[in-house]
Amino acid sequence: MYYQGVKKTIVARFVPKKRSFQGEIHPLLERLFLARGITSETELDRTLSKLPSPWLLSGMEEMVTHLITAINEQQRICIVADFDADGATSCAVAIKGLQLLGAGQVSFVVPNRFEYGYGLTPEIVELVKLQNPDVIITVDNGISSVDGVKAAIDSGIKVLVTDHHLAGSELPAADAIVNPNLVGDKFPGKSLAGVGVIFYVLMALRSRLREMNRFESNQVQEPNLAQLLDYVALGTVADVVALDQINRILVHQGLLRIRTGRCHPGFNALIEVSGKNSQTIVASDLGFSLGPRLNAAGRMDDMSLGIQCLLTDDPALAKDIALQLDGLNNDRREVEAVMKHEAMGLLSEMKALDEHHLPAGVCLFDANWHQGVIGILASRIKDQIHRPVIAFAPAGKDLIKGSARSIPGVHIRDVLSDIAAAHPKLLSKFGGHAMAAGLSLNMHDYPPFALAFDEMVSKRLADVDLEQKILSDGELTEAEMSIETADLLQNAATWGQEFPEPVFDGVFDVIQSRIVGQRHLKLVLRKPGGDLVIDAIAFFVDKPEHWLGLRQIKAAYKLDINEFRGNRSVQFIVQYFEKIA
């Protein structure tokens, strides 16, 4: 018997012997950092001075030249954003940043997911033209918008593309492109989110304006772009990009501003409706509490609402919009629960939970599924069966849209690219990253696509370990199960994607177990033969009533601090457990 109905194996992280830490470092931290590939203090530096130069990004010179012309001539600029949290925060950074640097006429358009789909399409260009812009700047999209960029340029509109997605075989004929993932780009960080890319563009623009003595000659104070870092932190974490050192710096600096009360009113409102404490907020709160509420606008309605929340300087309006976003997020949860139940039924019919019949790559479709929720659904099912998954929903005119999620070792966009090469007429369009992608198909092409997807994934799975594993940083002593250790871990680094928060494991006697909030299991644990009693909670447990009365478990957990009415106590956030007795 095991938590969540899926058997996993708890294994120890590999800790290399190599190290070059010069000063004193806590032994536990040294072990954690070495296991994550960190071997020196310089790699842990989270000051802004350690960010690489924006001029290392190819295309930056052309980008800044066009932006300076737009500012000098007070041209009308329209930001074309994406409809997720990265796109929304990118849009806010672009608008606020350009205004700080002297742009006077900046507007935005964000495609409605259900009417237009993703990116700068010719249809979106027609919508943008209603604003009569001189310049379009794409944020978190554009690198695959060959037709849309051409349509805009043919209409006399300059197009500047900022993006981080992988390029296709043909680049758009934009006036300038900044994307760290272009072939030959020398920027050292390939994991910037869209919001990080536009922030870097603004840093380059400000440095050029400084060289031109623009601020001094106009007798204005040079703007501090750090005031945008709350947006940058949220977009970076919500987009689940790898937290390399560059992204750890950006997220850490954004969190510092939030904790010290220097974030935007819309951000404060999102924190409040999420029930979080701004003074103790951590990166995971951005990903699991704020990000979903912002994303709910694009998933369930229109991301313009989320962008308005980020942009407003009116606290009352921000609170009103944040409450609307919270309501949309609750709606999303209800829809997701129904869709997941239906998806598990489809998997059961496919005998997918029998490992001997499980397809290598799983495609799921239901004519009633919500297009805005299929990405979350694919992620949930992927976690359940540990296979690449694509969930599809109707998109009108005999089209279906799919959202793909993958596992380590299977680059999902490359899989789609291989399918497109082998079956040129099968995919309408696609794009994305190693771990997530989106695509469109004709409904009648779904059966052959599902077969092609399974075939292409199976070729890659030959060298991939499909056993579901919980990587553990080992056991903690009773002395280490303390508030001091929890604080040490929280403050030592910015944890996140590909720089995971520490997880420990051990065998524990269960002193008490009870169900809270319908699906959460509250436990009181003690190490066998030990004296320390610790509270623990496992969230979203399948059939939690089956786990009442446990006597002993093996658990993988994160060390956390529970704050209640001013009191702080240690608790475990249980990631996985197995019944021993």
Residue 368's Cβ-count burial label (10 Å; 0-12, 13-18, 19+) is: exposed
> What are the tens digits of pLDDT across the range 436-457?
899 999 999 999 999 999 999 9
DSSP line for 230-289 = HHHHHHHHHTT----HHHHHHHHHHHHHHHTT-S-HHHHHHHHHHT--GGG--HHHIIII
Give me the sign of the Cα torsion angle 497, 500, 506, 512: negative
255 and 231 in contact (C-beta within 8 Å)?
A: no
Strand-pair partners of 565: none
Q: Give dist(CA 40, CA 20) in Å, integer.
A: 5
Given a contact cutoff of 8 angstroms between Cβ atoms, the answer to whether 207 and 201 are in contact is no
How many C-beta atoms lie closer than 10 Å to residue 452's C-beta? 22
Angle 146-154/122-129 helices, nearest 10 degrees? 30
Tens digits of residue pLDDT in 357-386: 678 899 999 999 999 999 999 999 998 888
The predicted pLDDT at position 397 comes to 85
CB within 8 Å of 139: residues ≥ 6 apart: 79, 80, 81, 82, 87, 90, 91, 93, 94, 162, 163, 194, 195, 197, 198
CA atoms within 13 A on the CB side of 218: 13
Which pLDDT score, from 0 to 100, does residue 2 have?
A: 42
The residue type found at 299 is: R
Residue 402's DSSP bridge partners are: 392, 439
347 and 378 Cβ atoms separated by less than 8 Å? no
**Residue 45, SS3?**
coil
Q: What confidence score (pLDDT) does residue 353 get?
A: 55
d(CA 301, CA 295): 10
What is the model's pLDDT at position 8?
Answer: 83
The predicted structure's pLDDT at residue 449: 96
- For 97, 420, 440, the CA distances from 429, given in Å and listed in that order, are 32, 9, 6
Which residues, listed in sequence order, are joined to residue 562 by a DSSP beta bridge? 569
Of 380, 399, 277, 264, nearest to 319 by C-alpha is: 264
Strand partners, 389: 362, 405
Walking along the chain (581 residues) 10 residues at a time, the average pLDDT comes out as 62 82 86 92 93 98 98 97 95 98 96 84 95 97 95 97 91 97 95 97 98 92 96 96 96 97 96 94 95 95 95 97 97 95 88 66 95 94 91 92 92 93 87 87 95 93 80 96 96 94 97 90 95 93 87 95 86 93 67
Count of Cβ atoms closer than 10 Å to residue 210 Cβ: 12
Q: Name all domains of the chain by residue range, CATH numbers in brackets.
A: 3-35+473-579 (2.40.50.140), 52-326 (3.90.1640.30), 350-461 (3.10.310.30)
DSSP calls for 490-536: HHH---BTTBPPP-EEEEEEEEEEEEETTTEEEEEEE-TT---EEEE
2 secondary structure, DSSP code: B
Show Cβ contacts of residue 409 under 8 Å, excluding neighbours closer than 6 positions: 460, 461, 463, 464, 465
